[in-house]
Structure 1
Amino acid sequence: MPVETSTDGLPLPQRYGAIVAIALGITVAVLDGAIANVALPTIARELHASPAQSIWIVNAYQLAIIVSLLSLAFLGDMLGYRRVYQCGLVVFTCTSLFCALSDSLTMLTFARVLQGFGGAALMSVNTALIRIIYPQRFLGRGMGINSLIVAVSSAAGPTVAAAILSVASWQWLFLINIPVGIAALFLALRFLPDNQQKSRGQRFDIISGVMNALTFGLLISLLSGFAQGVNGRVLLAELLLLLVVGTLFIRRQLRMTFPLLPVDLFRIPLFALSIGTSVCSFCAQMLAMVSLPFFLQGTLGRSEVATGLLLTPWPLATMVMAPIAGRLIERIHAGLLGAIGLAMFASGLFALALLPASPTDVDIVWRMMLCGAGFGLFQSPNNHTIITSAPRHRSGGASGMLGTARLLGQASGAALVALMFNLFNTQGTHLSLLLAGSFATVAMLVSALRITQPRNLSA
C-alpha cells in the first residue's frame, strides 16, 4: 500500500526508509553506467568479441536511458512516481540477472538495453519523489543527499569494478545488483509515497515517444560520430535527419497541453537557466574526468592505482560539500551559491590545465579538491531550483529534464575529449581541461543570471 503523505513531506522515521530506497536504486543505476568499462577486455575475450564490438556493452545501456528518460518521467506525472520507480527496480534487478547469464555479446547487449530502461525509470522520477518525501523547508537537504549519491556513484564506478574483479568474475558486476535491488524494492513498497497531484486528463502520446527517442538517439550518435571521425556523408545524413525529426518533435510538443518534452517548463526563466547551467557543468566535469587519466598515466607515468587515488579527492570533496550546500540553500539564493561553486570549479579546472611539467601529488590533489568542492557547492542548489521552479504536478517532467541535462552534458563532454585527442594528440588533455574551464565559466555566468529571479521556497 502507498504511504500516505501530507503536502509537506513524510514524517520520521518513514522519511529515512523512503530516502534509503531512493539511494539504493540510484546508486546501482548510476554505477552501472561505468562499472562495466574496466571489465570490457575480459568480457570481449570470453564472449569472443572484438574490443570495438564490446563498447556496445556500455553504449547500449547509456543509449537506452537517454531515449526513454523523458517518456518515463511523463508516465510518472500521469501514473505516479512511486509506481514508475518500483517498476524500474523490478526491471533493473531482473535484467541484471539476465546480464550475468548472457553467453554471447548479442545477448548481453540486449540485456543491457533492457537494464537501461530499468535504470531510466529510476533516474526519471527520483528527484520528483524527493520533493514529496521531504518537507519543503528541508528539501535542499534531500537534494544534497541525492547529489552526493550521483556524484560518488559516477566517480566510484571503476574503483568498485576493480574491487569486484579482484575476487570474482565479470558476471558479479551484475549479480551484485540483485540483493541491492531486492532491498530497495522492499523499502520502496513499504515507504515510498504516492504523488497526490497527478496531471488530470494526461495521455501518453506514442508518436511523441518515438520522436523523442529518435531525436536524442540521433543527437548522441552524431556527437559520438563527429568526435570519432566517422565518414562525413554519414554525419551529414544524421544531421539532416536530426533537424527534420527534432523540428517536427518540438512543433508537436508546442501544440500539446501536456508535452513529453517539457517545453512548457522552459517558459519559466529560472528553470531554463538552471537546465542550461546543468548541461554546461556536466560537460565540463566529463571533459576533465575522461581526459585526466590519460594525462596521469601517459604523460606523468603514474600507475593505474596511483591514478585512481589521485582522482579520489574530487568525489571526496563533493561528498563533503553537497550536503552542506543542501542546507545553505535554505538561506542563500541558489543562483549565488551556484555561481560561487562554479567559480571554484572553473578555477580548479584552469589550475589543472596549468600544472607544472613535473607536478607533485600535492599539486594535483589540491586542484582536484577545489574542483570537487566547487561542483558539490553548485549541484545541490541547482537540482533544488530545477525541481521547485516547476509546478508540483509537473515534477516528473522537471526530474526527467534534470537527468536528461546531466546525460547530455556528460555525452557531449566525452565526445569533446575524443575530438581533442583526435585533433591534437599529445595536447589533448591540456586543451580538454582548458575547454572544461571555459564551459564551467559559461555555467557560472548563466547561474549568476538567476540571482535576479525570485527564490521559490514555497513550491
Structure 2
Amino acid sequence: MQQQDQDGLPPGQRRGAVAAIAVAIALAVIDSSIANVALPAIASDLHVPPADAILVVNAYQIAVIMSLLPLASLGEKLGYERIYRCGLILFIISSFFCAMADSLTGLTLARIAQGFGAAGLMSVNTALVRLIYPQSLLGRGMGINALVVASSSVLGPGVASAVLSVAHWPWIFALNIPVGLLALALALRFLPSTPRASRRFDAFSAILSAGTFGLLMTGAEQLARGASGLAAVLLMAAGLVCGALLWRRQSGRAAPLLPVDLLRIPIFALSIATSVGSFAAQMMTFVALPFFFQHDLGRTQVETGLLMMPWPLALIVMSPLAGRVSDRVPAGLLGGVGLAGMAMGLGLLAFLPPAPDAVDIGWRMALCGLGFGLFQTPNNRTLLTAAPRERSGGASGMLSTARLTGQTLGAAMAALCLRTVQGGPQFALLVAACIAAAAALISFTRLRAAPR
C-alpha cells in the first residue's frame, strides 16, 4: 500500500500494520534470549563443551548489533518496509536451518543469519511506527512498541522453558516459522510504502560500522568470560580504531550511516546516553538476580521465575500509560522520575532483609518495572521526534543500537561482578542502581535541552 501524504495511516490499515510490527519484533527480541535455557541440551546433543555452546547466543547478538546501522541507512534509501519484509523472510528461513542443524557450526551459522534478519526488523521498527501513527497519537504508538520490546526481552527464557517442557530444543526455533509467516502476511498486506532517499549507500562505512560494534562487543564479552585479557583488549582496540575511522569518514555528510548529524542534537544525544545506561542497568539486574535468588536466598528455579515476574507485569501496566502521558509531559521529567524509581528499587533489592518473603521481593521488583516503564516510552518518543522525519531510519537504528549496546555491556559487567567480587550478585545490583541513578540525572538535564 502506498503511504499517502497524510498524518499517519487510516485506522484500519494502522491496526494491521501495528499487528505486523508487534508480532515480528517480538520474535526478534525473544530469540535474543530464548536459546539460553536450551544450552545444556544443545551442548549434549551436538557433543560440544557447554562453554562452546554459548556461541549460539553470542553469534545472534553480535550479528544484530553489527548490522543495525547499515540496515537503517539502507532502509532510508530503499524504503523501511522493504528492509522489514526482507529481514522477516531471512529470519524465517534461518529459523528453519536452526531447527535442522546437526552441528554447532551449522547452528552458529544459522544463528548469524537469523541475527541479520532480526536486525532488519529492529533497525527500521520505530521509523515505521513514526509513519504509521499520526503525530497526536505517536506517544501511544511508541508505548505499544516499547511494551512489546520490553516484555519480549524478559519473556524469552519463560517461552523456552514452556516449549522445552513438551518438546526438544529444535522446536524453540521451528515455532518461529508459522508465527513469522503470519507476521509476513500482515506486513505484505498492511505496511505502507515509505519514502526513498536518492543518495548512494556507503558500503565502506557499513563495513567500518560492523567492525566497530562487532569487535567492541566481542572483546567486552570475552573479557567478562575470563578469556585471554590481551586478546580481548586487542579486539576492543581494533573496534575503537574502526570507530574513529567511521566517525572521521561520516563527519560533515548530510545523512551519514553513523548518525553524527543526529548526535549533534543535544536532546537526541542525551536520550541515547540515557537509553544505554537504563538498558545496561536492566540487563545487569536480570543476569544477577537468578544467582542471587537461587544461590544466596535458596530459591528454586521455578520460584526464581515467579519472583522475577512483577517487573515485566508492572512494565506492561506502565508502558501504555507512559505513552499517553508523553504526548503532554516532557520526557526528561518522566524519564528522570522513572529511572530514579528504578534505582531505588534496585538498591532495595540489594539490601533485602534476611530470609525475605515473596512480598518483600515482589514490591521491589514491581517498583523497578514501573520506573523502567515510565522512562522507556517517553525516551523513545523524544529520541525519534528529535530527528528530522527523513532521518527516521537513522534515529530508529540508533535507538535499537543503544538498547543492544546497553544490554551487552550490562551482561558483561554482571559477569565480571559475578566472577571477581565476593557477594557478586548483590554487588552487581548496587552497580546497576548507580548506573540507573546516573541515567536519571542525564534524563533530567534534557529539561534544559528542549521543551519535550
TM range (shorter): over 0.9
Matching residue of 2:117: 118
Matching residue of 1:385: 382
Q: CA deviation at 1:214?
A: 0.9
**Range moving further from structure 2, 266-275 or 44-53:** 44-53
1:416 to 2:413 alignment:
yes
Q: In the alignment, which of 439, 444, 449 is matched to residue 448 of structure 1? A: 444
Determine if contact 1:3/1:190 at 8 Å carries over to the other structure. Answer: no
1:435 to 2:431 alignment:
yes
Mapping for residues 39-188 of structure 1, pairs under 5 Å: 39-188=38-187
Determine if contact 2:214/2:239 at 8 Å carries over to the other structure. Answer: no
Matching residue of 1:343: 340
Matching residue of 2:230: 233
Determine if contact 1:278/1:409 at 8 Å carries over to the other structure. Answer: yes
Counterparts of 1:91 and 1:284 in 2: how far apart (Å)? Answer: 31
TM (normalized to structure 1)? 0.97
Identity among equivalent positions (%) equals: 57
Counterparts of 1:297 and 1:412 in 2: how far apart (Å)? Answer: 23
Counterparts of 2:225 and 2:170 in 1: how far apart (Å)? Answer: 30
SS at match of 2:279: helix
CA distance 1:89–1:236, shift in 2 (3 Å): closer
**Range moving further from structure 2, 255-264 or 62-71:** 255-264
Determine if contact 1:134/1:142 at 8 Å carries over to the other structure. Answer: yes
Counterparts of 1:455 and 1:9 in 2: how far apart (Å)? Answer: 24
Q: CA deviation at 1:373?
A: 0.4
Q: CA deviation at 1:194?
A: 2.0
Determine if contact 1:314/1:372 at 8 Å carries over to the other structure. Answer: yes
1:269 to 2:274 alignment:
no
SS at match of 2:38: helix
SS at match of 1:37: coil
Matching residue of 2:14: 15
SS at match of 1:38: coil
1:253 to 2:250 alignment:
yes
Q: CA deviation at 1:335?
A: 0.8
Structure 1 residue identity aligned to 2:253: M
Structure 2 residue identity aligned to 1:445: L
- Residue deviations 1:62-119 (CA, integer Å, cap 9, x gap): 0100100100000111111011001011110111111111111110100000000000
Matching residue of 1:362: 359
Structure 2 residue identity aligned to 1:262: P
SS at match of 1:195: coil
Q: CA deviation at 1:218?
A: 1.2
RMSD between aligned residues: 1.1
Counterparts of 1:40 and 1:230 in 2: how far apart (Å)? Answer: 20
1:199 to 2:193 alignment:
no
- Residue deviations 1:30-49 (CA, integer Å, cap 9, x gap): 00001111011111111111
Counterparts of 1:206 and 1:409 in 2: how far apart (Å)? Answer: 26
Gaps of 5+ in 1: none
Structure 2 residue identity aligned to 1:434: L
Mapping for residues 316-331 of structure 1, pairs under 5 Å: 316-331=313-328
Determine if contact 2:216/2:240 at 8 Å carries over to the other structure. Answer: no
Determine if contact 1:282/1:406 at 8 Å carries over to the other structure. Answer: yes
CA distance 1:168–1:232, shift in 2 (3 Å): closer
Q: CA deviation at 1:238?
A: 2.3
Counterparts of 1:37 and 1:231 in 2: how far apart (Å)? Answer: 24
- Residue deviations 1:311-355 (CA, integer Å, cap 9, x gap): 000000000000000000111111111111111111101111111
Q: CA deviation at 1:234?
A: 1.7
Q: What is the aligned residue count?
A: 452
Determine if contact 1:3/1:191 at 8 Å carries over to the other structure. Answer: no
1:371 to 2:396 alignment:
no
Q: In the alignment, which of 215, 220, 230 is matched to residue 218 of structure 1? A: 215
SS at match of 1:188: helix
Q: CA deviation at 1:255?
A: 4.0
Counterparts of 2:117 and 2:275 in 1: how far apart (Å)? Answer: 23
Counterparts of 1:224 and 1:55 in 2: how far apart (Å)? Answer: 11
Structure 2 residue identity aligned to 1:368: M
Structure 1 residue identity aligned to 2:317: V
Segments ≥4 residues shifted beyond 6 Å: none
TM (normalized to structure 2)? 0.98
SS at match of 2:87: helix
Structure 1 residue identity aligned to 2:53: S
Q: CA deviation at 1:357?
A: 1.9
